[in-house]
Amino acid sequence: MTTTSTQPDIKVFDYDTYANGDPTTFGLPLDQYQYLRDEEPCYLQELDDPMLIDKTWVVSRNEDIWEVDRNTELYAADRGYVNIWQVVPIDPKNGGMPAMLTTDGERHRAQRQVLAKGFTPGFVRKLDGKFRKYAKDVVDDALEKGTFNFVQTIAHNMPMEALGDVLGVPQEDRSKFFGWVDKFAAPFDTRITASFDEVMEAIGNLMVYSEELAELKRANPADDVMSRLVASGEGGDPLMSPDEIMGNVALLASGAAESTRTAMSHGMHELMRNERAMAWVRERKDNIPSTLIQEMVRIASPFTHLVRTATRDHELHGKQIKEGDIVSMLFAAGNFDERAFEAPHEFRPDRIENPHVSFGRGAHKCLGQHVAALEMKILFEELFQRTSSIEPAGPIEYVRDAYSRGVYSLPVTVTPA
Ligand code: HEM
């Protein structure tokens, strides 16, 4: 793609930009991203929607996103707001609960340390067997159906069950738990969530449930993240306050499952559009390389952006940013930056140099990225081993949202191997 000389209408935070995305450009407004990166690398976006913040600076180059993400002293995560929404359940400055993603410094390190123990390589390895069983069940169901919506039949269940395992949600509670999690995923798409009140109701139910689950884990600790969250330190004091426990459950509920489902769905769509990539993957179906998974996560950019707050006045690309201004890291634009990637508009399953920012790169970088990658690897191995072809059975439809890049529908037909 060459540099655009005329300014396109910049609508990178418009729900309909993504709902009506072009499937040949990954559903993303790549021309707008390119304009921003080349001509307005620090762009002031004003927003006119009562559900959203009034304005934000937008950084879109890969390197600048890294810098904002890394420099927690200049760009704070603990001053309110997570994305462009006015209300987010893990934003304590706006009525939510504190979670690690909305803390900085010592408090962030302490919380992250508690949770990190639940994501050790040893723990993740133990998930392998469980994930293979979920993948097998999911593919059994798919083969029985033949033609189905990939998002619902395949990409939905596996990340939900994985989240249930990581957090330690008992099997009998999972269907209600997953119901609430689903509502979080698409608050602005009435096909999924009739109104924002429904989202608030789901959050309320989840908060009540997280207290029940905390009680259960205090009485019967297990090898799961919820047991870590409710554990006590050396002096017998709880490591986290009840609010922090709720906040971190809400963080996982809103961030872990939908993102992985999104990456799997956009990834499958690209494979079906690209015969060579599909053949390349089929040849490697017994041990899917991590390059494929990372490339899927790059082009999916499951969260288009996250925001931080400037802690002091400073200048960036000639623009005066004031203390308190909100700065958006437009991950989706950074993932297609020619300054950082060779042929960024191509889907390359064997891409080795892949500095994508879909998982973040700084102090808050995704704690669950190895869990997500394992889920995807196992799911695609099972799927390709047991099918001889996967073909589109209708057009892709996207979720209406400018934050979470969900796929609403991806009709496919599979032929058994
Ligand atoms: C493809 C799937 C996923 C994507 C794209 C994703 C993306 C992200 C992003 C962008 C961040 C914030 C990074 C930053 O601010 O620098 C994050 C943080 C986080 N993610 Fe993920 N995530 C995924 C899956 C998961 C899973 C499966 C889990 C857990 C089971 C998880 C748990 C977390 C946690 C706990 C944090 C907060 C880390 C902190 O604040 O220190 N994520 N993720």
C-alpha to C-alpha distance for 132 and 383, rounded to whole angstroms: 11
Give the pLDDT confidence score for residue 216 in this predicted structure.
Answer: 95
Give the pLDDT confidence score for residue 2 in this predicted structure.
Answer: 45
Alpha helical stretches, state H, 313-410: 331-334, 369-386
Which ligand 1 atom sits closest to the C-alpha of 257?
Answer: 27
Report, as an integer, the average pLDDT of 221-236: 87
Q: Is the CB of 247 under 6 A from ligand 1?
A: no
* Residue 387 Cα to chain centre, angstroms: 28
Long-range contacts of 310-316 (CB under 8 A, 24+ apart): 310/74, 310/75, 310/76, 311/73, 311/74, 311/75, 311/76, 311/79, 312/74, 314/74, 316/42, 316/57, 316/59, 316/64
- Residue whose entry in the numeric block shows the structure tokens 């690309």: 317
Report the chain's terminal Cα–Cα distance, integer Å. Answer: 39
Nearest in space to 248 (alpha carbons), one of 274, 229, 227: 229
Q: Is the CB of 97 under 6 A from ligand 1?
A: no
Q: Is pLDDT of 364 > 90?
A: yes
Whole-angstrom CA distances from 151 to 84, 265, 280, 299, 398 are 26, 6, 23, 17, 11
Band the pLDDT of 234: cuts 50, 70, 90.
confident
Give the pLDDT confidence score for residue 5 in this predicted structure.
Answer: 52
C-alpha to C-alpha distance for 43 and 58, rounded to whole angstroms: 5
Token output for 250? 């809400």
CB atoms within 10 A of CB 69: 23
Q: Indicate which residue's Cα is closest to atom 19 of ligand 1.
A: 366
Q: Is the CB of 253 under 6 A from ligand 1?
A: no
Q: Is the CB of 367 under 6 A from ligand 1?
A: yes
Alpha helical stretches, state H, 194-256: 196-219, 225-229, 242-255
* Extents of the domains making up the chain: 15-416
pLDDT digits (tens, 9 = 90+) for 263-286: 999 999 999 999 999 999 999 999
Q: Is the CB of 216 under 6 A from ligand 1?
A: no
Report field, pTM of the whole predicted structure over 0.75: yes
| 369: region left, alpha or beta (phi > 0 left; psi from -120 to 50 alpha) | alpha
Band the pLDDT of 4: cuts 50, 70, 90.
very low
Q: Is pLDDT of 3 > 80?
A: no
Give the pLDDT confidence score for residue 1 in this predicted structure.
Answer: 45
pLDDT digits (tens, 9 = 90+) for 168-188: 999 999 999 999 988 877 788
Q: Indicate which residue's Cα is closest to atom 28 of ligand 1.
A: 368
Residue 305 CB contacts under 8 Å (≥ 6 apart), including other chains: 13, 58, 83, 84, 328, 329, 330, 331, 332, 403
Q: Which residue did the predictor score with more confidence, 33 or 1?
A: 33
The CATH homologous superfamily for domain 15-416 is Cytochrome P450 (1.10.630.10)
C-alpha to C-alpha distance for 272 and 197, rounded to whole angstroms: 37
- Dihedral, CA atoms, 65, 301, 94, 106, nearest 10 degrees? -50
CA of 399 to the centre of ligand 1 (A): 20
Which ligand 1 atom sits closest to the C-alpha of 263?
Answer: 1
C-alpha to C-alpha distance for 219 and 231, rounded to whole angstroms: 11
Q: Is the CB of 256 under 6 A from ligand 1?
A: yes
Give the pLDDT confidence score for residue 203 in this predicted structure.
Answer: 87
Nearest in space to 279 (alpha carbons), one of 383, 384, 378, 377: 384
Mean of all residue pLDDT scores within the chain: 93
pLDDT digits (tens, 9 = 90+) for 43-87: 999 999 998 999 999 999 999 999 999 999 999 999 999 999 988
Helix (H, G, I), strand (E, B) or coil at 217: helix
CA of 382 to the centre of ligand 1 (A): 25
